[in-house]
């Protein structure tokens, strides 16, 4: 298990630390995304398995109304029980540490998630969400709280841009630096989308040991991208994906990552994900 987690962390470091290029100009979205009325699942995803990672990497359970009731992560390293109010997700409880993850809404959109310690009840994290005039998620901020919830420390930030068709075009990632503020660390560009259903965009913000920020009504990628370009302060990477589908849903996602700049240029890494459904 320790070796698996180390392999996982190594891969995630490759994704997180990939020199800054000119920013791509993204056309604005012309039609606002409809605001959600409830958090029922559109696709009943069951398991996501990932090479070199604990299996199942994600596991979902539902009630008979198609609401997600439980999410397991990394072979139950974390297990979240989900609770709803007025058809919207109100709270998740991580049964492994009893942390409570509480949702706050503004104009029918998740604006804040507050995480409380299962031991002390104090605030330990706050996650803020900002949207554009088209109701698309454009920024996420992670704040860590110390001193029994009295002091906050910026931990991470993500800025999102979209294509005119509503698919995610890029994420600029900012990470905590030595000066106590977040600084730019990498940009990930997503290209060459197909027209079939994406089922794993919910995991785009999930670092291995971080809390899952599950947003069932937020769709960041409608379809599946074939190319991912990662630029960072020291290293760059290009990832190409191949998919297999059944009835318009992905069964497998196979990736090949090539380092294109920095120490180790030319090295490759292959990985995959598999998907099953109810």
Q: Which regions in the chain score pLDDT beneath 70?
A: 1-31
Joined together, the tokens standing for residue 139 give 């920024």
Q: What is the pLDDT of residue 8?
A: 45
Q: What is the pLDDT of residue 157?
A: 98
Q: What is the pLDDT of residue 223?
A: 98
Q: Is 108 left (phi over 0), alpha (psi -120 to 50) or beta?
A: left
Closest CA to 164 of 33, 32, 31, 29: 29
Q: What is the pLDDT of residue 177?
A: 84
- The architecture CATH gives domain 2-277: Beta Barrel (2.40)
Q: What is the pLDDT of residue 148?
A: 84
CB burial class (10 A; 0-12, 13-18, 19+) of residue 256? middle
Q: What is the pLDDT of residue 86?
A: 96
Q: What is the pLDDT of residue 180?
A: 79
Q: What is the pLDDT of residue 126?
A: 98
Prediction pTM value: 0.88
């Amino acid at each position: 298990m320790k070796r698996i987690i180390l392999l996982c962390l190594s891969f995630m470091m490759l994704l997180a630390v990939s020199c800054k290029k000119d920013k791509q100009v993204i056309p604005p979205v012309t039609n606002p995304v409809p605001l959600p009325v409830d958090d029922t699942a559109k696709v009943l995803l069951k398991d996501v398995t990932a090479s070199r990672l604990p299996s199942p990497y994600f596991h979902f359970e539902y009630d008979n109304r198609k609401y997600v009731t439980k999410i397991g992560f990394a072979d139950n390293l974390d297990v979240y029980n989900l609770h709803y109010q007025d058809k919207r997700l109100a709270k998740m409880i991580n049964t492994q540490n009893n942390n409570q993850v509480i949702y706050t809404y503004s104009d029918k959109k998740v604006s804040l998630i507050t995480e409380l310690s299962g031991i002390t009840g104090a605030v330990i994290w706050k996650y803020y969400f900002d949207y554009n005039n088209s109701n698309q998620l454009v920024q996420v901020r992670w704040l860590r709280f110390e001193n029994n919830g009295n002091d906050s420390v910026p931990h991470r930030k993500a800025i999102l841009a979209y294509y005119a068709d509503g698919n995610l075009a890029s994420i600029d990632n900012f990470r905590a630096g030595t000066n106590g503020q977040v600084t730019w660390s990498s940009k990930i560009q997503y290209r060459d989308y197909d027209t079939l259903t994406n089922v794993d965009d919910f995991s785009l913000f999930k670092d291995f040991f971080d809390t899952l920020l599950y947003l069932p009504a937020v769709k960041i990628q409608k379809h599946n991208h074939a190319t991912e370009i990662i630029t960072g302060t020291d290293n760059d990477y290009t990832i190409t994906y191949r998919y297999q589908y059944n009835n318009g849903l992905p069964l497998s996602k196979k990736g090949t990552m090539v380092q294109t700049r920095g120490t180790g240029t030319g090295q490759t890494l292959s990985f995959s994900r598999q998907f099953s459904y109810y």
